[in-house]
Amino acid sequence: MSGRRLVVHPDHAAYIAGYQRAVADLRGQMNADHYETLVEINILRRELADLRQLHARALEAVRAEQDHQRAHAEHRHRELTRAWSAERDLATPLN
């Protein structure tokens, strides 16, 4: 420091005190906002985990249905192949 005494005009002291109060209020509001943000992030993380589980279950159901359809199509193909390769008795009617 320069060793000089800081001289504050009486009107400026109120301004400085008001500024300090405003900074303290804003700091408190920033802390509250930060806490709310952290809470919201945790809520969103839980929702994301739930959505991932839901997606996994839906994907599992879709894959099970696709496997079922594939097995049915393979069975039908085998039956058709067997029927096509069989000799038809010409004496029996078609219908």
pLDDT band at 10 (very low <50, low <70, confident <90, very high): low
Question: Which residues lie below 8 Å from residue 16, measured CB to CB, with a gap of 6+?
Answer: 8
Say whether pLDDT at 36 is over 70.
yes
Q: Render 27-71 in DSSP notation, one character per residue.
A: HHHHHHHHHHHHHHHHHHHHHHHHHHHHHHHHHHHHHHHHHHHHH
Rounded to an integer, the average pLDDT of 37-61 is: 98
What local confidence, expressed as pLDDT, does residue 8 receive? 66
Q: Which amino acid, residue 31?
A: N
What local confidence, expressed as pLDDT, does residue 65 receive? 97
What local confidence, expressed as pLDDT, does residue 48 receive? 98
Token readout for 64 is 């099970």
Q: Are 8 and 16 in contact (CB under 8 A)?
A: yes
